[in-house]
Amino acid sequence: MNGHHLIAGKWIAGEASFNSTPAHGPSREFSVGTPELVDQAVQAAENAFWEFSALSTEKRAELLDKIADEIDARGDAITEIATQESGLPKARIIGERGRTVGQLRLFAAHIKQGDYLDLRRDEALPDRAPLPRPEMHLVQRPIGPVAVFGASNFPLAFSVAGGDTASALAAGCPVVVKGHSAHPGTSEIVAEAIDAALTALNLHPGIFSLVQGGNARQVGTSLVQHPLIKAVGFTGSLGGGRALFDLCASRPDPIPFFGELGSINPVFLLPQAASNRAADIGIGWANSLTMGAGQFCTNPGVILVLDNKDAATFAQSAASTLSDIGPQTMLTDGISDAYKRGVEGIRSIKNVEETYGTNSSDREATPNLFVTDGDTWMANKALNEEVFGPLGIIVKVKDFDQMLEIAHDLEGQLTCTLQMDASDTSDAQKLLPILERKAGRILANGFPTGVEVCDTMVHGGPYPASTNFGATSVGTMAIRRFLRPVCYQNIPTELLLSDLN
């Protein structure tokens, strides 16, 4: 552990330093990033782009697989430091590492299939009247250097070698990562793995760089405003993401900001499902709500149910399940403090009952459950805001029409869930067109925690769930964020890309 930045294959120290704040284990010293280091990294990425963008699909796939191999080779070291820094259990870190290398290998396989290129060809029609048509080809091409921000809640799968980095590299875009100050040691080891893969394959070292943050806002600001950066991938808070989005939009040359900013992920418990399965659904919802101390962006923080005896059964079952869940370590002191403030904020709202209440201490979070009615929900926008942690709200609606009204009034979400039985189909058919406009993923009879990495996954949604409703940060479609279509008209065959021949 050298505590330095990785800039185009070289470990570089900074003038200032910060100390990590692990949940347990030793604190370590790391260099603070600077705009000068960002500039070095981005300049190197731009220099690498010409070689990397021209690299064959097979060679880029080989790089992704090699990075996965190098991460696995450091598995024990990654598990040790990541559990210390994040407070997450060993099994979670091992599973997340499996997801990280799995998505690297998934993108390797995906680009070798070639579908991502969206190849199109219009043959020349020289004899067409009244005007001839030229020969034209279309292919997707990489956009240039990409900035990626490490996420606090996923030190591996959404950070240094996570989905944003994997999809950008798969597209042929060099990457500059701003490491998250919550897990700098984990970031360093994963960066070492990427650098080892580049070295082993004799590729340009500027293809990847890591600049540690250390809570230095100027690092993020200088990164998104650097004129050579062509897109940004971000997973984090609404406030931080919106600030970066505005910076990207205010540049002389605005660039796309692909931010995943959070969601309350509402669950709609329909009448027959509530009548048949209220207690079981209460158990499942409570367990999903508290998974990972509620620190998942797909945490189902709100459930809507008709105000009757089934709602009471559901609430009792959920509260009983929550009472068996002990304190869980949160990712950072800042996240823990924000959770406590969120709990107090909900407590202060009139006509909101605390059905199961706890008081979290230090960095440990305990669950809290609140119940309110549909009118109160509609009148208080504060109830619609995400509380990052194991906090749930049951909204008892007076009738199905009010459930529809609340669905119409929702802001953008990552997910919406229908808990339904066969006789609920008519109600579900009325809800589904509304939910399609609100969320990127709609589930039936499940819970949204646990995001499958596959071809069909959409992890995104209308604002404020994400800043680009047409994109996903999980799944193979994520590569589209870092590509743009180029049309070649009457270009001689010897000049065309090999993909087009």
45: amino acid identity, one letter:
A
Farthest CA pair distance, the chain: 79
CA angle 296, 353, 444 (to 5 degrees): 40
477: amino acid identity, one letter:
M
Helices (H), 172-270: 184-200, 217-224, 238-250
DSSP string for residues in 356-410: E----BTTEE--EEEEEEHHHHHH-GGGGS--SSSEEEEEEESSHHHHHHHHHH-
| Token couple for 218 | 């100027």
Q: Are 355 and 370 in contact (CB under 8 A)?
A: yes
354 classed as catalytic: no
Query: How deeply is 349 buried, as exposed, middle or buried, from its count of CB atoms within 10 A (0-12, 13-18, 19+)?
Result: middle
CA distance 179 to 191: 10
Q: Looking at the DSSP assignment, which residues form a beta bridge with residue 19? A: 29
With CA atoms as reference, report the closest residue to 269 among 374, 418, 406, 375. Answer: 418
Q: Are 405 and 428 in contact (CB under 8 A)?
A: no
Q: Are 427 and 271 in contact (CB under 8 A)?
A: yes
Cis peptide before 464 (omega within 30 of 0): yes
Long-range residue pairs from 449-455, CB within 8 A, at least 24 positions apart, any chain = 449/288, 449/291, 449/292, 449/296, 449/298, 449/299, 449/300, 450/298, 451/298, 453/99, 453/102, 453/103, 453/106, 453/163, 454/106, 455/110
Length of the chain: 501
- What is the sign, positive or negative, of the torsion defined by CA atoms of 376, 382, 386, 389? negative
Q: Which of 260, 344, 416, 436 is catalytic?
A: 260
Q: Which of 173, 248, 297, 416 is catalytic?
A: 297
Q: Are 488 and 337 in contact (CB under 8 A)?
A: no
| Token couple for 17 | 């330093």
CA distance 315 to 355: 8
Q: Looking at the DSSP assignment, which residues form a beta bridge with residue 485? A: 140
With CA atoms as reference, report the closest residue to 448 among 275, 321, 302, 327. Answer: 302
CA distance 152 to 240: 12
> Residue 308, CB half-sphere, CA atoms under 13 Å: how many?
13
297 classed as catalytic: yes
- Active site amino acids: 260, 297
